[in-house]
Amino acid sequence: MKTKDYQPLVVTYGLVIHGLSKIDRLDEACTLFGEAKSRVGINVVRYSSLVDAFGKVGRIDETYLIMEELIHKGLAPNVYTWNCVLDALVKTDEINEALVYFQSMKDLKCTQISSLTTLS
């Protein structure tokens, strides 16, 4: 794509980042994520993809860092983003931390609580 002088859009980056994440190539996904941030900007959906990917493989520290960056950039985590974090915390038996995040979710008025959010 780049060799033909076509410029990828945020959606293009998002699809490739998501695909890399699905096949456990998270380091490459992060590199591409960094490129996308500098070239086209990133929205909450793209941040959520990385939160989900790192959470699913138990890399909680990276999940926290991505959430912090998302919030620092002035983006608001959506219900999907919160659920990705909660899912990762529950799966790694960090139930108390999951409850803290759940309370933060409620405090920030992220009120679209889904069945996943119930911490069942």
Provide the domain count of the chain: 1
pTM: 0.77
Domain housing 96: 2-118
Q: Each residue of 9-62: pLDDT tens digit?
A: 888 888 888 888 888 898 998 898 888 888 887 888 888 888 988 898 889 999
Q: Which residues contact 17 (CB under 8 A, 6 or more apart)?
A: 29, 32, 33, 36, 46, 49, 50
Phi–psi pair at 5, nearest 5 degrees: 65, 25
Tell whether the model's pLDDT for residue 69 goes beyond 70. yes
| CATH code of residue 81 | 1.25.40.10
Inter-residue contact 83 to 117 (CB < 8 Å): yes
DSSP letter string, 55-88: HHTT-HHHHHHHHHHHHHTTPPP-HHHHHHHHHH
Token output for 84: 């990705």
pLDDT value of position 120:
44
